[in-house]
Amino acid sequence: MNDIPAAFGQALRHWRDRTSPQDLGIPLGGVRRAPGLRREELAQLAGLSVDYVVRLERGRATSPSPQVLASLARALRLTEPERDHLYLLAGQAPPSTGQISTHIPPSVQRLMDQLRATPLSVHDAAWNLISWNSLWAALVGDPSPWRGREVNIAWRHFTHLPTRVAHTPDQQARFETAIVSDLRSCAARYPQDKPLSTLIADLRRASSRFDDLWNSHTVGFFITDSKTVHHPDLGPVTVDCDTLAIPGNDLRIAVFSAPSGTSTSAQFELLTTLGTQVTGPASVRVPPDR
């Protein structure tokens, strides 16, 4: 890889300086010399080392990977044109319109900030986990160590990776039908997306249940449904789950909720006290190589 140009570091500093810590839920304690985010805060939000962020800004690093650029774009709340400019400055081609995007627009980031008291996660069109808030991680477990296929919800479910979430047989049938139907529609929208076609082929080989559903062409949709999360400290936590689709971005937001005054809403309050190793308003994980 070639060294990045000075303009890359200048743009990164400009976007860091304009990003308000308050908008991201970061406390303003102590004297702040930076008008916006500190380098340490950007590094934490993007899942990078502080040293690497410093080298990027000073033009002392080689061209970052698309995964790093996507993480920086999310952390800095860049618009799509700004994200594309970041890629070009780094000597990388911007994400193709024919490929599944992992970009989270600023409006969705604001939605996450405003729903801090509600566990939620954000997924791309192929159901790769790309962002989550700290309450979601506290409830279902910290996904920071997940790598590669481990971040894909369909892969986790159909290959029986460990999970705290339990379904009744009816709930499981509805969930499986909906996620296979969603992936089938996704494949029709992104016929040139190689990672997606590889994921589907691998799922069909790895899971007879997935293959049967795929071959049956059964159609299903995500509806409001309940599920039980078995938390190691709180015990069973029964939540309602809604899947929100973001038009134009092809993102899915999974939201866990509970009526106020219920035992589950009280458990949510306890979760904020128990906390988790995940810090910050929204912990972002670099998605798998696409």
Please give the angle made by the CA atoms of 233, 237 and 241, to the nearest 5 degrees.
140
What pLDDT does residue 27 have? 67
> Does pTM surpass 0.75?
no
Q: Is residue 192 domain-shared with residue 229, that is, in the same domain?
A: yes
What pLDDT does residue 283 have? 34
Mean pLDDT over all residues of the chain?
86
CA dist 129 to 102, 136, 144, 153, Å?
A: 9, 12, 10, 7
DSSP strand pairing (120-123 vs 129-133): antiparallel
Long-range contacts of 159-166, Cβ-Cβ distance < 8 Å, separation of 24 or more:
159/203, 159/206, 159/207, 164/139, 164/140, 164/229, 164/230, 164/231, 165/140, 165/227, 165/228, 165/229, 165/230, 166/227, 166/228, 166/229, 166/230
DSSP strand pairing (251-257 vs 282-284): unpaired
* 284 three-state secondary structure: strand
Tens of pLDDT, residue by residue over 112-144, are: 888 888 999 999 999 999 999 989 999 999 998
Q: Which residues pair with 229 in a beta bridge?
A: 165, 237
User: Which tokens in the block code for residue 261?
Assistant: 């005054």
Q: Say whether pLDDT at 19 is over 60.
A: yes
CATH number, domain at 47?
A: 1.10.260.40
User: Which tokens in the block code for residue 276?
Assistant: 């988790």
Contact criterion met (CB below 8 Å) for 224 and 241 = yes
Q: Is residue 21 domain-shared with residue 76, that is, in the same domain?
A: yes
Q: Is residue 59 domain-shared with residue 149, that is, in the same domain?
A: no
On whether residue 196 sits in a domain, the answer given is yes
Q: Which residues pair with 133 in a beta bridge?
A: 282
- Among 23, 56, 89, give the residue marking a domain's end: 89
Q: Is residue 66 domain-shared with residue 119, that is, in the same domain?
A: no
On whether residue 99 sits in a domain, the answer given is no
Q: Is residue 73 domain-shared with residue 179, that is, in the same domain?
A: no
Q: Is residue 111 domain-shared with residue 151, that is, in the same domain?
A: yes
On whether residue 101 sits in a domain, the answer given is no
Contact criterion met (CB below 8 Å) for 13 and 57 = yes
Please compute Rg for the chain using Cα positions: 20
Q: Say whether pLDDT at 103 is over 90.
A: no
The tally of domains found in the chain comes to 2
Contact criterion met (CB below 8 Å) for 220 and 159 = no
On whether residue 179 sits in a domain, the answer given is yes
Q: Which residues pair with 242 in a beta bridge?
A: 255
On whether residue 94 sits in a domain, the answer given is no
Contact criterion met (CB below 8 Å) for 3 and 92 = no
Tens of pLDDT, residue by residue over 195-214, are: 999 999 999 999 999 999 99
Enclosing domain of residue 23: 6-89
Contact criterion met (CB below 8 Å) for 231 and 139 = yes
Q: Say whether pLDDT at 287 is over 60.
A: no
- Among 89, 121, 148, give the residue marking a domain's end: 89
Tens of pLDDT, residue by residue over 233-258, are: 899 999 999 999 887 788 999 999 98
User: What band does 290 get if pLDDT is binned at 50, 70 and 90?
Assistant: very low
On whether residue 64 sits in a domain, the answer given is yes
Q: Say whether pLDDT at 50 is over 80.
A: yes
CATH number, domain at 230?
A: 3.30.450.180
